[in-house]
Every structure is written in structure tokens, then in C-alpha cells.
Amino acid sequence: MTIDPVDLTARLVRCPSVTPEEGGALVLLEDMLTQAGFDCTRVDRNGTSNLFARWGQKGHVRTFGFNGHTDVVPIGNRDDWEHDPFGAQIVDGMMYGRGTTDMKSGVAAFAAAAVDFVTQTPPDGAVILAITGDEEGDATDGTTALLDWMSHEQERMAVCLVGEPTSPDHMGQMMKIGRRGSLSAWFTVTGKQGHSAYPHRALNPLPAMARLMDRLSSHTLDAGTEHFDPSTLAVVNIDTGNAATNVIPAQTRACVNIRFNDLHSGNTLSDWLRTQAAQVDQSFGTQTEVEIKVSGESFLTPPGELSDMIGRAVEAETGIRPELSTTGGTSDARFVKDHCPVVEFGLVGKTMHAVDERVSVEQIGQLKGIYSRILRDYFA
């Protein structure tokens, strides 16, 4: 049995699976994997669609897992697209459509590689595909739901490869062995409203907010670590909503986002942010409410057997040894790392989430070849 990853990518792209809609993508994959002998289970939770598929013996110590998602971000303004965002048109060797890069091509490549491998050279072990429809959304009922279900059912991956696009410019350039953590914090500074002609009768929250944002943004969190760049803090919003020129407002709000390395945790950074706000309040007499959301902690899969195996496979298929990196945003690897060692490798991500998102047809086949080689090497 041989699966064409380009054709499978096109069929997946034609499924309008904009988060949280399933759009037919997981139904398509479930039908194909069931025909290939995989035991498939829909692990839907709170309206989010997820698919678990296993070939081989449950609980086998040699179980290789793939993780990915079929949901995509919205297309934006349809008139800005030159090509149908759900048409999967191929023009000059490039397939156009929402999700071609992020990451239906990756799912198609690992699904095709897995089906070919288990049907042509059945291994002594098991292969698991954990595919979610909630990576681009809140990610509360996607891969986390799959991992919760797997724990309950005593399903286990020994190692996992996440098929997200990982290379900035060319195929084979980079794999991810970890990710920075991500934290957002919202600040509401409250003072006392008053007339701008009589500022002594009011308590202006704006100078306090300005001081707080300056303290946070000018602070050096760290200088980086062996595998991570320095942590960063960005002020992403300051909003007072005051259209009057003669009124000192009672409140102002702001938001910051921190991308942090393995020198920090969500808890330690949260404590630091609250301490900074309290110190500013003490100086200005204001009251600041702080709301914090940690989207994911930083993590690292230390370089070793798994990353070496993936690196050898990429080099054999592309001639390029991928760089080990922890750059970029968050991915569902942040959840998988609590289950088993995890590495990410996929296509070039230049056009993901962009208008006229597109992928090289040649690279889809190349990616299947890499995943196929990884499976052969793992079970050899």
C-alpha cells in the first residue's frame, strides 16, 4: 500500500477545517488509517475533534509517535488571495491553500510514511498518530485531550516527533529540541478620576503605568543559556480609552508578553511581575490588578539518541544536517514533553498563516522520505 503525500495534502487542504471546525479532515484520515490496519479512536472533547490511531500492539515498549494538527487559522480577506484558499491548486511546483505549510502537508507526510511502513515492512513494535483539531485555537482540548485519554487507556509513546514546520529558509535547515515558555500578563492600574486643571485632586494612573511598563521592558531577564536565546519581554498594548482632553482617567490597562528560557518558570516570572506592580503602587499610591496566563513552560529534550537519529535521516535525504534549535513560538510539543521525549521537524515555514500560503510539492515528497527513513531507523 502506497500513499501519495501530495494528493493527501491536497485532499486535506480542501477540508475547510478552520479552528474549531473539523471540516472533514480527521474523517478523511480516519478512513484511510483504518483501511491500513490502524486502530482508530476519536477523542473529541468539548466540541474539539481529535484522532488517535495506533498500528501494532498496545503498550509495546518500542512505540514511535507522530503528533500534528489539521486545524488552520482563518483566511482573512478572501479578496487578498490570488488562489482559492481551500482549492489546493498547484502552480509552478507550489501548492496553494490554507494549511499547506501549517501543517496539513506535515500530517500528510507522516501519515503516508506510517501507512507505507506498517503495510510494507510491519515492524516489531507500534506506531501511533495523535492528531488534533485544536492547535491553532486555545489548545485546551486538543493534544492535551489526546494525552489525557492515552493516560487513562494506558497508551504510551516511547518517543514522539511533531511535524510542525521548523526550517526558516530551506528544507532540512532546523529541528526543534525545545521551546521557550510563553506568558501574557494584563495590568489594570486604578487611580482617581478628576479634572486635568486640578491634578492635585485626582490620582492619575497613567504615570504609574508608564513607570511600570518602563521598569518591565528595560529589565534584562537573562543572557541566555546553552540551548536558549535570552528571554524577552514585549509591551504589546497600553489602552486608556480616554477621548477627553480635560479629564484625568480613573484607570488604564496594559499587556506584556514574555518568551522565557529554562532559567525561569511561569511561577517565578508571575511573582516578579506582581512584585514590580506592587512597588510602583507603593510609589504612586495606585492600585494595580494583575492577571497572568502561562501558555506553556520552557522545555528541552537534551541532544542525544532521538535528535541524532532524526538528524541522520534529514541529512541522508537532503544532504543537510539540521541545526538544533529552541527558537520560535509555542507548539503542542509543550504538552507532549510531559509524556515522552519529543523533537519537532517539518517543512519550511515561511508562508504559514500568510495570504496565499503555499508549499513546495517536491518538499512534501521529501518530507515523507525523511519520516519513512526515521521509522526504518527507529525499528531497525
User: What are the extents of the domains in the chain?
Assistant: 5-179+298-379, 181-296
Q: pLDDT tens digits, residue range 236-294?
A: 999 999 999 999 999 999 999 999 999 999 999 999 999 999 999 999 999 999 999 99
CB 128 within 8 A of CB 64: yes
Tell me which fold the domain 181-296 belongs to.
Alpha-Beta Plaits (3.30.70)
Question: Which residue from 163, 161, 158, 160 is spatially nearest to 125, judged by alpha carbons?
Answer: 158
Q: Is 200 helix (H, G, I), strand (E, B) or coil?
A: helix
- Is 71 catalytic? The answer is yes
* Mean pLDDT score, 119-125: 96
The confidence score (pLDDT) of residue 213 equals: 98
Q: pLDDT tens digits, residue range 147-199?
A: 999 999 999 999 999 999 999 999 999 999 999 999 999 999 999 999 999 99
- Binned at pLDDT 50, 70 and 90, residue 329 comes out as confident
CB 286 within 8 A of CB 189: yes
Q: Is 8 helix (H, G, I), strand (E, B) or coil?
A: helix
* Mean pLDDT score, 81-104: 98
Q: Is the pLDDT of residue 307 over 90?
A: yes
The confidence score (pLDDT) of residue 274 equals: 98
Homologous superfamily in CATH for domain 5-179+298-379:
Zn peptidases (3.40.630.10)
Amino acid at position 106, single letter: G
Q: Above pLDDT 70, what percent of the chain?
A: 100
Cα gap 346→109, rounded to integer Å: 9
Q: Is 161 helix (H, G, I), strand (E, B) or coil?
A: strand
The confidence score (pLDDT) of residue 98 equals: 98
CB 247 within 8 A of CB 193: yes
Q: Kindly name the residue from 71, 141, 332, 344 that is annotated as catalytic.
A: 71
* Mean pLDDT score, 74-90: 97
**Phi, psi at residue 231, to the nearest 5°?**
-70, 150
The confidence score (pLDDT) of residue 287 equals: 98
Q: Kindly name the residue from 22, 116, 135, 262 that is annotated as catalytic.
A: 135
- Is 30 catalytic? The answer is no
State the pTM of this model.
Answer: 0.91
Q: What is the mean pLDDT of the chain?
A: 97
Q: Is the pLDDT of residue 46 over 90?
A: yes
The confidence score (pLDDT) of residue 198 equals: 97
Q: Is the pLDDT of residue 138 over 90?
A: no
Quick one: 111 exposed, middle or buried, by C-beta within 10 A (0-12, 13-18, 19+)? buried
C-alpha cell at 236: 504589546
C-alpha cell at 346: 517539518
Residue 156: count of CB within 10 angstroms of its CB = 17
* Mean pLDDT score, 104-110: 98
The confidence score (pLDDT) of residue 1 equals: 75
Q: Is 78 helix (H, G, I), strand (E, B) or coil?
A: helix
**Phi, psi at residue 238, to the nearest 5°?**
-135, 125
